Amino acid sequence: MRPPRPTLGPRPGDQATDSPQDAARVVLAACAGEGFTLAGIAPVRASRWGEHLRNWLAAGRQGTMAYLGEALDVRLDPGRVLAGARAFVVVADRYAPRGDEDEVRSGVGRVARYARGKNYHDVVKRRLHRVADAMRERFPGSDFRTCVDTAPVPERELAALGGLGWIGKNTMLIHPRVGSYVVLGVMATTLDLTPATDQTPDHCGTCTRCIDACPTGAITPYSVDASRCVSYLTIERREVIPPDLHRGVGDWIFGCDVCQEVCPHNSVRVEAREGERGHGGVLEAYAPARRGFDLLGVLGWTEDDRRQAFRGSAMKRVTLGIMKRNALVAAGNAIERGDLDADAAAALRARIGAIAADAGEEDLVRSSARDVLARLEAWDARRPWP
The 10s digit of each residue's pLDDT in 211-243 is 999 999 999 999 999 999 999 999 999 999 999
- Look at the chain and count its residues: 386
Tell me how far apart the terminal alpha carbons of the chain are, to the nearest angstrom. Answer: 60
8 Å CB contact between 154 and 50: no
Instruction: Select which of 77, 149, 202, 339 is catalytic.
Output: 149
Mean pLDDT, range 136-153, rounded to an integer? 95
Amino acid letter, residue 350: A
Q: Closest Cα to residue 229, out of 161, 313, 170, 185?
A: 170
192 as an active site residue: the answer is no
8 Å CB contact between 286 and 123: yes
- Model's pTM, two decimal places? 0.91
The 10s digit of each residue's pLDDT in 316-326 is 999 999 999 99
Mean per-residue pLDDT of the chain: 92
Q: 210: buried, middle or exposed (CB in 10 Å: 19+, 13-18, 0-12)?
A: buried
